[in-house]
Amino acid sequence: MELHRIDVEILDINDHAPVFKKKEITFQISESALSGARYSIDSAKDPDVGLNSLQTYKLNPSDHFTLKSFSRPDGSKYVEMVLQTQLDREKQGEHKLVLTAFDGGIPSKSGAIKVNIVVLDANDNAPSFTQSVYRVNLPENTPLGSVIMSVSAIDADEGTNGDIEYSLSQSSHSVSDLFSIDRFNGEITVKGDLDFEISKYHELDIEATDKGGLTDTCKVLIDITDVNDNPPVISVMSFSNAIPEDAAPETVIAMLNVKDLDSGRNGQVKCSIDPNLPLKIKSLNANFYSLVTEQLLDREAISDYNITITAVDEGSPSFSTNKTLNLKISDVNDNAPVFQRQSYTAYVLENNPPGVSVSSVKAHDKDSGNNARISYFLEDILVNGVSASTYISVNAESGEILAVRSFDYEQIKEFNIRVKAQDGGNPPLSSNVSVRIIIQDQNDNAPQVLYPVQSGASVVAEIVPRSADVGYLVTKVVAVDVDSGQNAWLSYKLQKATDRALFEVGLQNGEIRTVRQVTDKDAVKQRLTVVVEDNGQPSRSATVNVNVAVADSFPEVLSEFTDFTHDKEYNDNLTFYLVLALAVVSFLFIVSIIAILSVKCYRWRRERMYYKSGANLPVIPYYPPLYADVGGTGTLQHVYNYEVCRTTDSRKSDLKYVRPCSESVISLDTSGAQTLPHAQRDKLTSEVFDDQQKPPSADWRFTQNQRPGPSGAAATPEVAVGTGPWPNPPTEAEQLQALMAAANEVSEATNTLGPGTMGLTTRYSPQFTLQHVPDYRQNVYIPGSTATLTSNPQQPQQALPPPQASAAQAEPPKAAQTPASKKKSTKKEKK
């Protein structure tokens, strides 16, 4: 701000006419009054100035009186009437005059007052003041009622004409509210408050009048002296109640005008403020001051100032005035956000749901308003080669850190991100903080067994010699858990074993050791199931199968473990397989029932068809020639001997022959049954498998002459009569033919089985009765053969060789069986 002094002069116009305070006045004048007697008339008042103010007076009529105008020191004017011609009461006892006052305006304005003159009887001597002018100095703080002076007048007359009364003339009416005069003794008393600042002096016109109406006048001049009775006045011309905190020094805050109505030293004023403020006050010129900054401001330290300006004059005693201004410091964005911590650490459990709150950051800004409004952002840094925003998000308003996806402790254990806090200033300021996010482990991984390796390709077994002592280290189960902490603390337990009393597992190290001395009675094959369990809540476990061979040599182990079937993978959900097995068995049972019913229905319909047709061709059952008569009753027992061929491995085509319980393939009863030695059985078995593709031999079938009759006797004389219904007992050659035919049927059934499957070869020797076999003399159809039995001996037939040849090939009968041999034979037959 700059200060310029401007003086404005108001030009007067003649807008006021002279006005007398009274409309009419009366004078009592003795007829003996001498020429030259003066009578004072209060002047008219005109507020205008210059030529527009009061200029002249005019008295009408002017036969006895003339007018004289006078000016006071303050510039005011008054008028006196001067007697020119003596009055004569006898001629005219009363005169009416008009006094007119004119100003100098164009056009001129005027004001008038009536003057009444009453002519009195003659009074020879008029009062006379001792002094024509009185002077007095009076302080402005003179108390009311104080007598400031006395005036005195003398009258030479005696009696009542010599009594004088004092009064203020009409011209002193303006000060009549400040002063009064005692009419008998002439004492002048202070009546009102005097103020040097309003008027520095006063002039009083005092009249002394005797009883005869004669008067005299004098002047009293009163000078008012100044006292320090006014405090300074502070006026604020301009004020910036808010300034920015980055305002430069010497910045003007306010401009002041300080006045003191007193004069001299009482009116000299000094202004000051608190010296501890970063402000100062400067004097521009008389009575004008400016308030400016002295140093840089800081809103964050002090946001506002109460500035007290003190103005003190130099009077005695001095007066002072205080003026208080409230200055506010507006904010500037000069402070960056500050986080509550230098760094943050947050913990989150793995497998967390996306969107879960991980932690929160908080920053504070010392600024205010938008400069302190903080927004939070995630800095785009790389975490494990990808952007941090794929892991974490930050709420811009609250600073809450949220997980974008589910974490896996086994993939990432911890990572660092940076969060930026930015305020809303212009330009904005920001700061960063590092947040370390630690993933806490959960027990979400089961232990993994590293050794022994579980594979279905081959069987791995640990060998324990039979000479092993107690505590012998068989093997060690090695497992790991990718979890951490107690979730990775593993313990080993023996769940099941072929012989639980022989082995134990170390709880912490997984070592399998022998508990006792190995004996010859211990089985070679030992199966151990070890459970590896972690210490998590809830715990997880894994199972491993350990094959242990108790043997002293490798061939013994190899011969025993080649028959190991490969276990399927261990499955915890055993219930599922039980339900599946039950469903499969139920399905097979229903299918079997349906198949049996279908076969029954099919056979029944076929029999009906044959009986209704005219072919009259019943079917002869297919009977092999091996038979025996038991007790001569004609009933043959059905005896089946099975030999099972299987492989040790589904990937191999080698056959493993399991020896039956009996050493003989065919076991007959004591009435002539014969036993095939083991060597011949092996030979026959090999022949059977060599001739799997050959058709069955028809040499054992009956000829027409060999067919038995209804009575069991021979049909022709060519057949010798034996002990049973057949001519002769079957020879060994016939037994061999029956075995080959049975093997051929078995080979047909097994042709569809490929290598690597388990084959089952069944050899059987049905023993039957012929009492229900009819004596067919006509052509008979034999199922499973293209040959037809006929009674024509010239027609070629498939028949057994002659009995004589068979008898020749048979071995001689063995010696009679002893009771011991009979008993053994009976046991074989039962088996």
User: What number is the average pLDDT over the span 98-119?
Assistant: 90
- Sheet (strand 357-360) strand order: 357-360, 400-403, 392-394
Cis peptide before 231 (omega within 30 of 0): no
User: What number is the average pLDDT over the span 471-486?
Assistant: 91
pLDDT attached to residue 780? 36
Q: Tokens in use for 234?
A: 């502070």
pLDDT at position 395 over 70: yes
Give the CA-trace dihedral at 587, 590, 592, 595, to 10 degrees: -120
Q: How far apart are CA 295 and CA 690, in angstroms?
A: 122
**Contact present, 399 and 419 (Cβ < 8 Å):** yes
Q: Indicate the pLDDT class of residue 734, thresholds 50, 70 and 90.
A: low
Count Cβ atoms below 10 Å from residue 245 Cβ, excluding itself.
Answer: 18
Q: How far apart are CA 91 and CA 104, in angstroms?
A: 38
**Contact present, 261 and 197 (Cβ < 8 Å):** yes
In terms of Cα–Cα distance, which of 282, 297, 322 is closest to 242?
A: 297
pLDDT attached to residue 321? 93
pLDDT attached to residue 285? 83
Q: 678-690 vs 732-750: helix axis angle to the nearest 10?
A: 40
Long-range contacts of the stretch 637-640 (C-beta < 8 A, 24+): 637/669, 637/767, 638/764, 638/766, 638/767, 638/768, 639/666, 639/667, 639/668, 639/764, 639/765, 639/766, 639/767, 639/829, 640/762, 640/763, 640/764, 640/765
pLDDT attached to residue 635? 35
pLDDT attached to residue 556? 66
In terms of Cα–Cα distance, which of 218, 220, 219, 212 is closest to 164?
A: 212
Give the CA-trace dihedral at 462, 466, 472, 473, to 10 degrees: -10
pLDDT at position 769 over 50: no
b/e for 113-151, b at 16 or more Cβ within 10 A? bebebebbeebeebbebeeeebeeebebebeeeeebbeb
pLDDT at position 737 over 70: no
- pLDDT, one tens digit per residue, over 810-824 is 344 333 344 434 433
Q: Indicate the pLDDT class of residue 739, thresholds 50, 70 and 90.
A: low
Q: Which amino acid is at 265?
A: R
pLDDT attached to residue 394? 95
Count Cβ atoms below 10 Å from residue 519 Cβ, excluding itself.
Answer: 9
pLDDT at position 376 over 90: yes
Q: How far apart are CA 709 and CA 790, in angstroms?
A: 15
User: What number is the average pLDDT over the span 267-292?
Assistant: 90
In terms of Cα–Cα distance, which of 186, 190, 175 is closest to 142?
A: 190
Count Cβ atoms below 10 Å from residue 674 Cβ, excluding itself.
Answer: 20
pLDDT attached to residue 783? 39
Single pTM value for the model: 0.46
- Kindly tell me the sign of the dihedral angle through the C-alpha atoms of 173, 177, 179, 180: positive
Q: Tokens in use for 364?
A: 């504070």
pLDDT attached to residue 596? 94
pLDDT attached to residue 348? 93
- pLDDT, one tens digit per residue, over 112-159 is 999 999 887 666 678 889 999 999 999 988 999 999 999 999 887 777
Q: Which amino acid is at 386?
A: V
Got the DSSP string for 495-533?
Answer: EEES-TTTEEE-TTT-EEEESS---TTS-SEEEEEEEEE
Give the CA-trace dihedral at 543, 544, 545, 551, to 10 degrees: -140
Give me the helices (H) in 354-395, please.
none
Mean pLDDT score across all residues of the chain: 75
Stronger pLDDT, 748 or 20, i.e. the higher one: 20
Q: How far apart are CA 560 and CA 549, in angstroms?
A: 9
pLDDT attached to residue 110? 92
Q: How far apart are CA 683 and CA 689, in angstroms?
A: 10
pLDDT attached to residue 30? 80
Residue 683's SS3 state is helix
Q: What radius of gyration, in Å, describes the C-alpha atoms of the chain?
A: 78
∠ Cα 669 670 675 (to 5°): 65
∠ Cα 351 353 356 (to 5°): 120
- pLDDT, one tens digit per residue, over 564-616 is 444 444 445 678 888 999 999 999 999 999 999 999 998 888 887 765 554 44
Stronger pLDDT, 44 or 701, i.e. the higher one: 44
pLDDT at position 694 over 80: no
Give me the helices (H) in 174-321, please.
none
The bridge status of strand 187-190 relative to strand 147-150 is antiparallel
Stronger pLDDT, 30 or 110, i.e. the higher one: 110
pLDDT at position 55 over 50: yes
In terms of Cα–Cα distance, which of 350, 474, 357, 447 is closest to 407?
A: 350
pLDDT attached to residue 736? 57
User: What number is the average pLDDT over the span 322-345?
Assistant: 93
**Contact present, 134 and 149 (Cβ < 8 Å):** yes
Q: How far apart are CA 280 and CA 238, in angstroms?
A: 16
The bridge status of strand 490-497 relative to strand 525-534 is antiparallel
The DSSP secondary-structure symbol of 51 reads G
Count Cβ atoms below 10 Å from residue 748 Cβ, excluding itself.
Answer: 13
Helix count and strand count (H, E) for the chain: 6, 49
Q: Which amino acid is at 706?
A: Q
Q: How far apart are CA 293 and CA 305, in angstroms?
A: 12
> What is the share, in percent, of the chain residues with pLDDT greater than 70?
69
- pLDDT, one tens digit per residue, over 494-513 is 988 888 888 999 999 999 99
Q: How far apart are CA 750 and CA 737, in angstroms?
A: 20
pLDDT attached to residue 432? 95
User: What number is the average pLDDT over the span 804-810?
Assistant: 36
Which residues have CB under 8 Å from 552's CB, separation 6+?
465, 466, 467
- Sheet (strand 638-646) strand order: 656-658, 638-646, 760-766
DSSP E strands: which ranges in 298-440?
A: 304-313, 320-330, 338-339, 343-349, 357-360, 363-364, 374-378, 382-383, 386-387, 392-394, 400-403, 414-423, 430-440
User: What number is the average pLDDT over the span 450-473?
Assistant: 80
Q: Which of 443-447, 642-646, 745-749, 782-786 has the highest mean pLDDT?
A: 443-447
- pLDDT, one tens digit per residue, over 167-225 is 988 777 778 889 999 989 999 999 998 888 888 888 988 999 888 778 888 999 999 99
